[in-house]
Amino acid sequence: MGKVLVFGHKNPDTDSITAAISYAYLKQQLGMDAEAVRLGSISGETAYALGQFGFEAPRLIEKAAPEVQQVILVDHNEKQQSVDDLNDVQVIEVVDHHRIANFETSDPLYYRAEPVGCTATILNKLYKEHGVEIPKNIAGLMLSAIISDSLLFKSPTFTEEDRMAAEELAAIADVDAQVYGLEMLKAGADLSGKSLEELVSLDAKEFTMGAAKVEIAQVNAIEVDDVMKRQAEIEVLLNSIIEEKELDLFLFVVTDILNNDSSVIALGRAAERACTAFNVGLTNNTATFKGVVSRKKQIVPVLTEALK
Amino acid sequence: MGKVLVFGHKNPDTDSITAAISYAYLKQQLGMDAEAVRLGSISGETAYALGQFGFEAPRLIEKAAPEVQQVILVDHNEKQQSVDDLNDVQVIEVVDHHRIANFETSDPLYYRAEPVGCTATILNKLYKEHGVEIPKNIAGLMLSAIISDSLLFKSPTFTEEDRMAAEELAAIADVDAQVYGLEMLKAGADLSGKSLEELVSLDAKEFTMGAAKVEIAQVNAIEVDDVMKRQAEIEVLLNSIIEEKELDLFLFVVTDILNNDSSVIALGRAAERACTAFNVGLTNNTATFKGVVSRKKQIVPVLTEALK
């Protein structure tokens, strides 16, 4: 078996980057020539986590072939969220915590998904199942992923299994999760110095829902108004993306990490239907989703149901 | 959470039936109201295994809803192999050892696939991971599944992990795997008393390969010629199924369980292409695939590649 690349989704978040590093390390310990790589830019939050635990960002790739024939996906499975030439390589493993869609293989594979809040929680189990000790700095990365995906343990995606994993990892990493976590989230919510292009693409994901093509971008913020007051410029950008990708809906979600509400800008022919599904009206293309912080658990299922 | 039905694929083989029983039992021990059911008739081989270990056949269902809202799939994931109303219920778990295709969910789920020869091998791990003891009679069923899927440990799908699981399960079940296994396979290969309709449907599975709709039926036999001499009648049946389901290919595979070759009848517009992929010519719609016993590992990947 030749080298295997391990990567998370495009527009990688902290879980995608750290899961690639953490799982590649585990596979190396088990004898595989595995290398963690990434499919996009590192966010401010992820850069903070990598820096705190002494890691460099993984190498950026645009294509997997012909460098390798085999890849491992972490933190995603949907083809449109993955490397562009996914069809040219063999997916031999997936470790993920999302719904399964637009994913198909010719051969049997190792697929491990669990309905938990973070890939790191599953990786924590896999280390145990294989009897491999988690190094201190990798535990720090895995803890960072759980903090990121759960908005410091407050998202409805956060399960009892995530809580136990976070406790174990914080102990190994020797970190106060609350203190460290708030600093990390603040680093990610610092939107100064971000261009609007970056804001709408940093954590954007595409979905197919029924016949509809949907893109949902999410940013965390401390001052939501600082983002929303640039609505006019943002709409120009979103409309150009809608046209270019022939989207039925672009949902731009700005999540207040302190009060846990999200302000959204919804554009595209499915925008009204989308907001109706959340029982809120769309005013001037915007709405507030009270208590909604999780794209995966609170937005994608509702939209999938509404648009199918 | 209400009752959850656990089932394997249509035209169930021994692994599908026994995995449903074995996993439903494990889930019951973990507190779930789980019931094993089946989507089709029990084969002679499976009936033998159930009888040996004191089990009745699970209840036959045609639809999952409205009886339940949630289901667990074992030994399959492709929609066309599953219950007809799969879209009306939520798949909360999958335990499988096949490729992933035509499978999609709205929500995150527990998905456990491993590239091993049998679902029972994965279930053996799950019992350990949850610290639940495998009862003697369930171990017998799980061993039966491994024997069935591996044609008594001879199929190329049979891995080191399957071998270890079979050893452990034989010890728990207190069974001589070779002696018991040959008797079980013979019970399954006894085709006397089977109608031709039963032969071509007993272990038939549908696949989508590229744009092609393919059905592959497999029977095990000791006297392959007893089946092949009825080719003319079989072809009439296959052609009517091709017409009814608008198939591009029907591959009827008769596997000699003693010498491990398969004789095939290939019909449909893709029949020539299919056999070319196996480097054999089609003579009078028939061919011999030397050393081919595994649909999953030796037939489906080759056809998928050839027809894509």
A303: closest chain B residue by CA: B106
Nearest CB among A99, A103, A114 relative to B100 is that of: A103
Both structure tokens of A218? 């999410």
Q: What is the CATH classification number for the domain harbouring A51?
A: 3.90.1640.10
Residues B170 and B229 in one domain: no
B278-305 tens-digit pLDDT: 999 899 999 999 999 999 889 999 999 9
Bridge pairing between strands A110-113 and A286-289: unpaired
At B97, the amino acid letter reads H
A97, A112, A301 member nearest B106 (Cβ)? A301
Same domain, B140 and B268: no
What is the per-residue pLDDT across B101-136, written as a single tens digit (0 to 9) for each?
999 998 999 999 999 999 999 999 999 999 999 999
Same domain, yes or no: B174 and B230: no
Is B202 found in the same domain as B185? no
Same domain, A183 and A218: no
Domain count, chain B: 2
Instruction: Look at residue A259 and give its three-state secondary structure.
Output: coil
A45 and A148 housed in the same domain: yes
Domain boundary at B134, B156, B189, which? B189
**What amino acid occupies position B200?**
V
At A193 the pLDDT is: 81
Residue B70 contacts A, CB cutoff 8 Å: no
Which of B76, B107, B209 best tests the A interface by mutation, with the highest count of A CBs <10 A? B107
The pLDDT confidence band at residue B259, using thresholds 50, 70 and 90, is confident
Residue A75, marked binder: yes
Contact status of B161 with chain A (Cβ, < 8 Å): no
Element (DSSP H or E) covering residue A255: strand A249-256
State residue A222's pLDDT score: 87
Tell me: do B146 and B165 sit in the same domain.
yes
Report d(CA B89, CA B101) in Å as an integer: 18
Q: CB contact, 8 Å: A111 with chain B?
A: yes
Interior/surface letters B150-164, b for 16+ CB within 10 angstroms, e for the rest: bbbbebebbbebbee
Compare CB distances from B108 to A104, A108, A113 and report the shortest one's residue.
A113
* B86, B29: one domain: yes
The CATH number linked to A212 is: 3.10.310.20
Put simply, whether B196 touches A (Cβ < 8 Å) is no
pTM of the model: 0.87
Are A276 and A217 in a shared domain?
Answer: yes
CA distance B226 to B221: 9
Closest CA to B197 of B243, B230, B152, B225: B230
- Of B141, B164, B189, the residue that ends a domain is B189
Say if residue B82 is in the same domain as residue B8.
Answer: yes
Full residue range of the structural domain in which residue B58 is found: 4-189
What distance in Å separates residue A49's CA from the closest CA in chain B?
Answer: 26
Domain boundary pick from A157, A189, A221: A189
Feature table: binding site of B = 9, 13, 15, 75, 97, 149
Q: Compute the average pLDDT of residues B49-71.
A: 98
In chain B, whose CA is at the least distance from the CA of A210? B106
CB atoms A109 and B99 under 8 Å? yes
Residues B184 and B212 in one domain: no
Q: What is the ipTM of this complex?
A: 0.86
pLDDT tens per residue across all 308 residues of chain A: 799 999 999 999 999 999 999 999 999 999 999 999 999 999 999 999 999 999 999 999 999 999 999 999 999 999 999 999 999 999 999 999 999 999 999 899 999 999 999 999 999 999 999 999 999 999 999 999 999 999 999 899 999 999 999 999 999 999 999 999 999 999 988 888 889 999 999 889 999 998 999 999 999 998 899 899 999 999 999 999 999 999 999 999 999 988 889 999 999 999 999 989 999 989 999 999 999 999 988 999 999 999 98
Partner residue facing A100 (CB), from B97, B99, B111: B111
Are A144 and A238 found together in one domain? no
B97 interaction partners in chain A (CB closer than 8 Å): 108
A94 CA to chain B: closest CA distance, Å? 10
